Chains A and B, each alone.
Chain A
Amino acid sequence: MTKISLTVNGTARSGDVEPRTLLVEFLRNHLGLTGTHVGCDTSQCGACTIHLNGKPVKSCTILAVQADGQQLTTIEGVAPTAQQGGDALHPMQAAFKECHGLQCGFCTPGMVMSALGIVERHKNDQLTEAIVRHELEGNLCRCTGYQGIVNAVLMGAKNMGVRVA
């Protein structure tokens, strides 16, 4: 067992893991943060997307020991007052609700984390539908046909102050 200490959604957390424990297993099984989903476990679907030091990554393809000492954000940490028990949605989450960006909701946590990555990368330039489609390539959805998701990302980005064409 190896002891790891990391910051998750602004809170210091630690735990004992085997080197082969995946980060997503640590988040879900050790910390009880089950908002991060496992859709494929083969690095394809993006349901397990979280932010590692501010960047979207697939937590099923990272060892928990690799995240030792790092800063993580999961879907549970996205809404402004979620850590204090508030139920207000983040503008990107609200846009998914507004635009029918989800049906079963399984892919949604990963979609929102990827969408926030898109906003971060394009906050100083102009976002287009083509950019959103290209940069959602790492996230699969079996339900929506993507149009609602693309609309949601564009609306969420706009409501976060990004210029949208």
Chain B
Amino acid sequence: MHAFTYHRPTSVADAVAKRSADADASYLAGGMTLIPTLKQRLAQPTQVFDLAGLADLKGIVVTDGAVTIGAMACHADVALSADVRRVIPALSDLAGTIGDPQVRNRGTIGGSLANSDPSADYPAAVLGLGATIHTNTRQISGDDFFKGLFETALKPGELIVKVSFPIPKRAAYMKFPNPASRYAVVGVMVAETAQGVRVAVIGAGACAFRLSAMETALSKSFSVAAIKDIAIPADDLNNDMHATAEYRAHLVGVMARRAVAAIA
């Protein structure tokens, strides 16, 4: 690991100002992605700003219409929250499938979204439930957030403060984990929301995406039968040593049908 200096800012304004003043600096949340990256010398920040001391990034608040999760809430906080389970059990289930217990005790929702790993789970919830990402300067609709491989709408130095998930009528998340890493080979979130049916896929493409063909079919009839003949083109899907593009296309259909079956 290359050397860097370490800082623990105590306010969002302070963190953003110092991080923005140095193009080679980095925020540190749970470190479950950043520290392995530093060990491999794939990143070489000059300064690291630990977000652990920022009170504004903490906590989970459930109101009538939404669950709002602070960027520094760890996956275990979300998975084990009785309030979250009461209103969006699919979100608890999703958080509970991330990595393993030790990873869930450190990794955060803010870090996961900022990183936008193609195999990360939370992007399925953000896109599938139609969440809004609140940063230090603005609100970004989930539909506008994921831009490509490890690429998001965040500007350099922009800080995720919290994420709010509207409570759906019903939702389910199904994941086919890689047996070694637990990251998703493919994951699908299906939700019936106030804005209609949403189907979001992770693991299969460069970043999370929605499947409009399935959304239309499920809007007409919310049943496994309605989507069983929808073919998923493999053309632009990920192809690596874990799964071919064709296998991923197949898994998208299987995971979507399982998700619908769980809540139909």
Contact = CB atoms under 8 A, between A and B. Distances in A.
Interface in B94-143: 99-103, 105-106
Interface stretch (B32-40, B54-62, B147-155, B241-249): B32-40
B228 interface: no
Interface string A96-123: 0000000000000000001001100100
A138 B103 contact: yes
Interface string A30-43: 00000000000111
B2 interface: yes
A63 B31 CA distance: 9
Contacts of B2: 20
A49 interface: yes
Given A55-B76, A63-B31, A114 B6 contact: no
Interface residues of B, number: 28
Contacts of A62: 31, 35, 106
Q: Is the interface of A mostly helix, strand, loop or mixed?
A: mixed
Contact of B36 (A19, A20, A43): A43
A20 B34 CA distance: 12
B102 A58 contact: yes
Contacts of A61: 31-32, 35-36, 106
Going nearest first, the 4 A-B pairs with the smallest beta carbon separation are: A138-B100, A19-B6, A137-B100, A55-B105
Given A19-B48, A57-B106, A61-B31, 7 more contacts: A18-B3, A20-B3, A46-B102, A57-B105, A62-B31, A66-B50, A114-B101
